[in-house]
A and B are shown apart, each in its own frame.
Chain A
Amino acid sequence: MTVATQGAGGGGGAVDRPSGSSLADVIDTILDKGLVIDAYVRVSLVGIEVLTIDARIVIASVDTYLRFAEAVNRLDLEEKGQGGLPNLVGQMQEGGAKKKTKGAAQGALESAGEKVREFVGDGGDSDRAPRRRRPREEE
């Protein structure tokens, strides 16, 4: 079995196909998902300090709002002198295929977003109680 680094459709980079999960992806996946041993056995987590990471939940806050407002403001600066907005949007949609919008700014934003996760030392045994996941759906 091999995994292509590009989508089999040859989408010209339309879909990013990393060969492995990044740490951020791993954090999203293995910390609050999967079978919980405590549900089966009571003798788990024997005397080991497990570092856990607060699961990130996106909660819209004033900071988020201000960031959006700032981004809109930045947008204006970048595009000034190019006429009204509807015009601008039209150009963007037409030129979408040619235009490579993914740039340094996007990368910086992503890393800022990921930065929210931080390691916190956790007592190690207690609050790892099983959280119910949705039951397996079958057709």
Chain B
Amino acid sequence: MSAPTDSETPEQQVSTGCYVYGIAPADLEATSDARGVGDPPGKVSIVRHDQIAALVSDIDLGGPLGTPEDLLAHQQLLDAAASEVPVLPMRFGAVMTDPEAVKEELLAPHHDEFLAALNELGGRVEYVVKGRYVEEAILSEVLSEVPTAQELRQQLIGQPEDATRNLRIQLGEIINQAITAKRDADTAKVVEALSQFAAATAVREPTHEQDAAHVVLLAELGRQGELEQALAELGREWEGRVNLRLLGPLAPYDFVVAEAAQQ
């Protein structure tokens, strides 16, 4: 299934490339205000092949790619599109030689595979739920539940810092273990509360040691209200203990997988 690797040789001279954001059905329309990556932002256009299309923009091959603006532009473009049509998002940084290459080397050879994935996706989008513990609340909880942490804390009171490094490390490790266990339990609780509204769920790695949950859902756009309501209920239950955030609708970054990559 892989395209020939030597086909770029005649294209070496060109100074622009074709940045690829994602794959969508062919009836997708580019909105005129869509801002692409690059500085100045590239104009977003659509490369179509049969029933599928790629969202692309020209990009200067001389410049670096990956500024905060680039990252935001990539995701905002895909998320906006995902609210309207099924979208298979590319990972940040996909660049091909030109629109012709996108058509001939990406869309045409994988047309049926992409089309099947788009149909399967249907009206579903991704949501991200992030929970972060409120420090005072979670530490008090741990101290009240873990006697050894409580004892160590008592021992440390009034002691000079440099004499108690090992004890403090020991205390911190116990707290970290307790929080990790709470995170696992609370993550499971988020999944349980929301999975009835989702076609699929996945758990992301925590990005902070006080993360309470980091869960992604693939859900019908039409069920967003129910999802928000269920999460708000959990938020009320956890008020003062966990701060919850809901992001979405997003393109289904966590739920696309390249079958062709199995080789």
* Partner-B contacts on A (CB < 8 A): 1, 3-4, 7-12, 14-18, 20-21, 23-37, 39-53, 56-58, 60, 62, 64-73, 75-76, 78, 85-86, 88-89, 92, 96-97, 99, 101-102, 105-106, 109-110, 113-114, 119, 121, 128, 130, 132-139
CB contacts under 8 Å to A, within B4-39, are: 4-5, 7-8, 11-12, 17, 20, 22-23
Inter-chain contact B65/A26, CB cutoff 8 Å: no
Interface residues on B, range: 35 or more
Q: How far is the CA of A60 from the CA of B228 in the complex (A)?
A: 32
Q: Is B91 an interface residue (CB 8 A)?
A: yes
Identify B93's interface contact among A23, A25, A40, A50, CB under 8 A.
A50
Q: How far is the CA of A57 from the CA of B206 in the complex (A)?
A: 7
Complex A-B: 30 CB contacts under 8 Å:
A4-B228, A7-B229, A7-B231, A9-B232, A15-B228, A16-B244, A16-B246, A18-B245, A21-B79, A23-B68, A23-B71, A26-B71, A28-B207, A31-B91, A34-B91, A40-B110, A43-B97, A47-B17, A65-B168, A66-B172, A68-B209, A71-B135, A75-B136, A85-B144, A92-B140, A96-B239, A133-B257, A134-B257, A136-B257, A138-B120
Inter-chain contact A43/B101, CB cutoff 8 Å: yes
Q: Is B163 an interface residue (CB 8 A)?
A: no
CB contacts under 8 Å to A, within B91-129, are: 91-97, 101, 105-106, 109-110, 117, 120, 128
Most chain A beta-carbon contacts within 10 A, residue among B67, B88, B206, B236 = B236
* Partner-A contacts on B (CB < 8 A): 1-5, 7-8, 11-12, 17, 20, 22-23, 59, 61, 63-68, 71-72, 74-76, 78-79, 83-84, 88-97, 101, 105-106, 109-110, 117, 120, 128, 130, 132, 134-137, 139-141, 143-144, 149-150, 153, 156-157, 165, 168-173, 175-176, 180, 199-202, 204-211, 221, 224-225, 228-236, 238-241, 243-247, 249-251, 253-258, 260-261
Q: How far is the CA of A96 from the CA of B208 in the complex (A)?
A: 23
Inter-chain contact A73/B156, CB cutoff 8 Å: yes
* Minimum-distance CB pairs A-B, first 6: A65-B172, A51-B66, A14-B235, A11-B232, A9-B232, A39-B261
Identify B88's interface contact among A12, A35, A49, CB under 8 A.
A35
- List residues of chain B with CB within 8 A of the CB of A68: 139, 171-172, 175-176, 209
| Cβ-closest chain B residue relative to A65 | B172
Q: How far is the CA of A65 from the CA of B253 in the complex (A)?
A: 33
Inter-chain contact A37/B94, CB cutoff 8 Å: yes
Inter-chain contact B207/A56, CB cutoff 8 Å: yes
Inter-chain contact B3/A42, CB cutoff 8 Å: yes
- List residues of chain A with CB within 8 A of the CB of B202: 134, 137
- List residues of chain A with CB within 8 A of the CB of B251: 34
- List residues of chain B with CB within 8 A of the CB of A29: 75, 128, 250, 253-254
Q: How far is the CA of A23 from the CA of B64 in the complex (A)?
A: 18
Chain B min CB distance to A84 (Å): 10
Inter-chain contact B172/A30, CB cutoff 8 Å: no
Q: How far is the CA of A10 from the CA of B156 in the complex (A)?
A: 44
- List residues of chain A with CB within 8 A of the CB of B96: 37, 41, 43-44, 46
- List residues of chain B with CB within 8 A of the CB of A17: 228, 245-246
- List residues of chain A with CB within 8 A of the CB of B88: 35
Chain A min CB distance to B104 (Å): 10
Additional pairs, 4, CB under 8 Å, beyond known A28-B204, A43-B101 = A7-B229, A12-B236, A92-B137, A121-B64
Q: How far is the CA of A33 from the CA of B205 in the complex (A)?
A: 13
